[in-house]
Chains A and B, each alone.
Chain A
Amino acid sequence: MNNEKNLLIVILDTNPIWWGLQNSGSIQQEDQVPIHDNITFSDCLSGVMGFINAYKTMNQNNSVCLIAAHNTRAEYLYPAKSKLADNNQTPWERYEQISDIYESVKEGLKNLSQQHLENLSDAKEVKNKDNLSNDSMISSAMGLGLCFINRIQRKYIFAESVKYRFVVIKASDDSSNQYMSFMNMIFSAEKSNIIIDSCALLHDSSLLQQASNLTNGVYFRVPQLNGLLSYLLWLYLPDEQTRNMLVYPPKTDVDYRAACFCHHKLIDVGYVCSVCLSVFCTFTPICTTCNCNFRFDVNMLKKANSLKQGLMVNKLQYASKSKSDPINGSNKNLDSMDTGDINLNNSIEMIE
């Protein structure tokens, strides 16, 4: 038996809202006849625990870290804080009873939901929709996992040879304001050759698809929650080398189109600012991100047919956006915008 050490980081989506909705049957699959197989969160958790136990018992060099992604924060469930602080043992030297894992996970979940409730009652902003958003802090949990890996790599000499892998079990919807941090996490995982395997429950997640595709991991959408454990065991238990010998579901095509900064729509062809690489769907005279004035290329003007129309729309946006401008928040934008507009109109008339 080889001495290669493995560390598996499991990220579990514990978003209470999604699980509540799922339980009441309001989240169903788009393409299939609704199946009344609503399973509770604890069913799912026992599936995940079964998977973790199977992984740990497969090889004594396997170690696990479980992180919960709640809707407001991410928290470690296992290993528990106290264990890490007390022992100077490495995660691989700890031989615990399986019940210990259950104990610490139970404790962690209890704290998490209690804190959540306290936050809700403290703030009394239940009406505020942000507090009840239906997205989980997946990227946050991945950040914690990467920090953990980084720390292990620095602390132990043998850590160079350890193989790290993520398994992300995600239930809730993708949120666009996590895009940037999520991408940052993917890139840093990619840099240190960490595989991200992802498992989307019921709905496809384009973020997870990209994560797995960029890091050579497996992406799979679980069509039925009842069979969660068998899916986990069958797809996510084997390591990278074993996978070559098994038959896996074919890789799906991932949508790598960018969303424009102005309308948040996916586009095929767009314009990109040469300074800050912001994406726009039509030609705009000023970059909204870095306040650059763009030079007018007459050829470009001729060819942009929908230019005039586009400008009208953009001007409206500038009016609304300049208040929340991330860089300067100045109104210079609007002033220079007007003069730019006149120049542009002149030049269009000249061409015509």
Chain B
Amino acid sequence: MNMNNLLNEENEGYIWEGDYEQTWKDIQEDETGTLRTATDNISYQARKRQLLEKQSHIRLSMMRHMFVVIDASSCMNDKDLKPNRLICVQRQVEKFAYSFFDQNPISQLGLIVTRNKSAEKVSDLVGHPKKFVDKIQGLKEKGCQGEPSLQNSLELSLASLKHVKSHSSREILIILGSMTTCDPGDIFAAINECKKYKIRCSIIGLSAEIHICKRICSELEGIYSVILDELHLNDLFQRVAFPLPNSDNGAQTLMRMGFPQHKILKPEEVSMCLCHMETNETRFSNGGYFCPICDSKYCELPIECKVCVFVQGLTLVMAPHLARSYHHLFPLDPFVEVNFEKQDANSDSTVRPENCTGCQFFMNKNGFQCNFCKRSYCIECDIFIHETLHSCPSCTNPIN
């Protein structure tokens, strides 16, 4: 993986073998006189990636339980990422948490920090990005100390992930800055134990490729990558946020789920919610979500009903939670690139559309055409439609 990063995309050779990059030549002036850097190029790369990655009709594991392990050893004070590694990673993990819950709406994230040869569980598995991000905020104060321990982190996450139901995918993501790990016992035993429970482990390295990390990732079916810069780190996080293909056949089940309705009761009918019972900050309120079976009240969704768990177990969700991940199921087909200049020369039967269907702005020589409605879009809209919108604005019916 690391070698692939160093190789140019077209396998032209290693980066250091290439010519000197003349970055100033990328800057051009457009018709309006504003400076345009090589953004066109970057957009093209984004499009290429999107074409490669969009493989439809693969069974993805939508339910994910993931522990993020952050290295807080002394090397995380290094300033190669600005302002330092730890703060940079912290920011990126926050961003990652939001996109993770956006892509995998009914999944859960937990946080483990490893420093001083030990691992500490900072946050248990939670289903809401805000709760998770709150826990990361406290990371800076404790500072970075000592050495990390991969074995302790693996074992600690394993202890929690063991109890997760088998139909959801159990994953660990380690962000490792250190080149060493301090383990109390045999790390290979820990790896085998994880393998037994079908845990996947991906590692993002901040310094250089390390053999043990490579070994862990190949044994546990994860992806090992080493970052080039902050932008690349961001890219790698985005890749992890996207659900992985479901490798474990036969682990699928039907989950029983409840769809509670939000009700607002009369002002005199105040009640407590079950989700804040444990924290002792009981709140009285009028409204909330009521479990369709036992009628217990919760103030946030998604959540596992704490009463029904004794009977059969019931996850409470809203329909939009499920709908959020339907774009993985019915992905939008990539648009076909059309070169209008060539088309003009060959045949004059097709009229060249002057404006983009999406944003109405003037289109350059290249357009992108939807296969169904045959309308053309500019590259900006094409990327936006595929990355964010997930459905073509002029046909709006992704299934047909």
Closest-CB distance, B104 to chain A (whole angstroms): 10
Asked if B57 is at the interface (CB within 8 A of a chain A CB), the reply is yes
- Residues facing B in A76-127 (CB within 8 A) are 76, 79, 81, 84-85, 88
Asked if A12 is at the interface (CB within 8 A of a chain B CB), the reply is no
- Residues facing A in B296-324 (CB within 8 A) are 312, 314, 317-320, 322-324
Asked if A292 is at the interface (CB within 8 A of a chain B CB), the reply is yes
Interface string of B345-359 (1 = CB under 8 A from A): 000000000111111
A151–B360 CA distance with the chains assembled, in angstroms: 9
In the complex formed, the residue of A with least CB distance to B400 is A177
Interface of A, secondary structure class, is: mixed
- Residues facing B in A262-290 (CB within 8 A) are 267-277, 279-280, 283-284, 287, 289-290
Whether B262 and A273, one on each chain, are in contact in the complex, defined by CB atoms closer than 8 angstroms, is no
Whether A150 and B326, one on each chain, are in contact in the complex, defined by CB atoms closer than 8 angstroms, is no
Interface string of A234-263 (1 = CB under 8 A from B): 000000000000000000011111110000
A335–B251 CA distance with the chains assembled, in angstroms: 21
Whether A295 and B252, one on each chain, are in contact in the complex, defined by CB atoms closer than 8 angstroms, is yes
A303 in contact with B261 given A181-B398, A256-B320, A258-B322 (CB within 8 Å): no
Interface of B, secondary structure class, is: loop
Whether B252 and A292, one on each chain, are in contact in the complex, defined by CB atoms closer than 8 angstroms, is yes
- Residues facing A in B38-72 (CB within 8 A) are 57, 59-63
Residues of chain A within 8 A of B317, CB atoms compared: 272
Residues of chain B within 8 A of A292, CB atoms compared: 59, 252
Asked if B212 is at the interface (CB within 8 A of a chain A CB), the reply is no
A150–B392 CA distance with the chains assembled, in angstroms: 15
Closest-CB distance, A169 to chain B (whole angstroms): 18
Closest-CB distance, A305 to chain B (whole angstroms): 13
Asked if B280 is at the interface (CB within 8 A of a chain A CB), the reply is no
Residues of chain A within 8 A of B320, CB atoms compared: 183, 186-187, 210, 214, 256
Asked if B380 is at the interface (CB within 8 A of a chain A CB), the reply is yes
In the complex formed, the residue of B with least CB distance to A143 is B393
Interface string of B362-396 (1 = CB under 8 A from A): 10000000000000011011001100111111111
Whether A257 and B254, one on each chain, are in contact in the complex, defined by CB atoms closer than 8 angstroms, is no
Asked if A323 is at the interface (CB within 8 A of a chain B CB), the reply is no
Asked if A131 is at the interface (CB within 8 A of a chain B CB), the reply is no
A144–B319 CA distance with the chains assembled, in angstroms: 25
A147 in contact with B381 given A177-B397, A275-B252, A295-B253 (CB within 8 Å): yes
Q: Which of A140, A179, A269, A295 contacts B394 (CB 8 A)?
A: A140
Interface string of B243-261 (1 = CB under 8 A from A): 0001000111111111111
A76–B259 CA distance with the chains assembled, in angstroms: 38
Q: Which of B32, B59, B330, B394 contacts A74 (CB 8 A)?
A: B394
Whether B389 and A273, one on each chain, are in contact in the complex, defined by CB atoms closer than 8 angstroms, is no
Whether A284 and B254, one on each chain, are in contact in the complex, defined by CB atoms closer than 8 angstroms, is yes
Whether B384 and A140, one on each chain, are in contact in the complex, defined by CB atoms closer than 8 angstroms, is no
Asked if B1 is at the interface (CB within 8 A of a chain A CB), the reply is no
Whether A85 and B389, one on each chain, are in contact in the complex, defined by CB atoms closer than 8 angstroms, is no
Whether A181 and B292, one on each chain, are in contact in the complex, defined by CB atoms closer than 8 angstroms, is no
Asked if B329 is at the interface (CB within 8 A of a chain A CB), the reply is yes
A150–B320 CA distance with the chains assembled, in angstroms: 23
Residues of chain A within 8 A of B359, CB atoms compared: 144, 147-148, 150-151
Asked if B270 is at the interface (CB within 8 A of a chain A CB), the reply is no
Residues of chain B within 8 A of A290, CB atoms compared: 59, 329
Interface string of B146-186 (1 = CB under 8 A from A): 00000000000000000000011000000000000000000
A84–B32 CA distance with the chains assembled, in angstroms: 13
Whether A148 and B292, one on each chain, are in contact in the complex, defined by CB atoms closer than 8 angstroms, is no
Asked if A332 is at the interface (CB within 8 A of a chain B CB), the reply is no
Interface string of B320-344 (1 = CB under 8 A from A): 1011111101100000000000000
Q: Which of A76, A151, A181, A274 contacts B168 (CB 8 A)?
A: A274
Asked if A232 is at the interface (CB within 8 A of a chain B CB), the reply is no
A180–B332 CA distance with the chains assembled, in angstroms: 12
Closest-CB distance, B342 to chain A (whole angstroms): 22
A280–B57 CA distance with the chains assembled, in angstroms: 20
Closest-CB distance, A252 to chain B (whole angstroms): 9
Q: Which of A73, A88, A185 contacts B389 (CB 8 A)?
A: A185
A287–B252 CA distance with the chains assembled, in angstroms: 10
In the complex formed, the residue of B with least CB distance to A141 is B393
Asked if B189 is at the interface (CB within 8 A of a chain A CB), the reply is no
Interface string of A121-147 (1 = CB under 8 A from B): 000000000000000010110111011
A271 in contact with B254 given A84-B361, A210-B320, A258-B322 (CB within 8 Å): yes
Asked if A35 is at the interface (CB within 8 A of a chain B CB), the reply is no
Closest-CB distance, B216 to chain A (whole angstroms): 26
Q: Which of B168, B255, B259, B358 contacts A148 (CB 8 A)?
A: B358
A202–B257 CA distance with the chains assembled, in angstroms: 34
Q: Which of A178, A283, A326 contacts B254 (CB 8 A)?
A: A283
Whether A327 and B57, one on each chain, are in contact in the complex, defined by CB atoms closer than 8 angstroms, is yes
In the complex formed, the residue of B with least CB distance to A273 is B254
User: By CB atoms of chain A within 10 A, which of B312, B317, B318, B388 has the most?
Assistant: B388
Whether B254 and A147, one on each chain, are in contact in the complex, defined by CB atoms closer than 8 angstroms, is no
Q: Which of B63, B357, B384 contacts A274 (CB 8 A)?
A: B63
- Counting from the closest, the 4 A-B pairs by CB-CB distance are A143-B393, A147-B358, A151-B359, A258-B319
- By a beta-carbon cutoff of 8 Å, the part of chain A in contact with chain B is 73-74, 76, 79, 81, 84-85, 88, 137, 139-140, 142-144, 146-148, 150-151, 154-155, 177-181, 183-188, 191, 210, 214, 253-259, 267-277, 279-280, 283-284, 287, 289-290, 292-295, 297, 299-300, 303, 326-328
Q: A253-B262, A277-B322, A295-B251 are in contact. List 19 more A-B contacts (CB 8 A).
A: A81-B354, A81-B355, A84-B362, A88-B31, A88-B32, A144-B359, A146-B389, A147-B393, A151-B378, A155-B361, A180-B323, A180-B399, A185-B391, A187-B324, A188-B388, A214-B320, A274-B62, A289-B329, A294-B253
List 5 A-B residue pairs with CB atoms under 8 Å apart, sorted by A's residue number: A154-B380, A183-B324, A272-B322, A274-B167, A294-B253
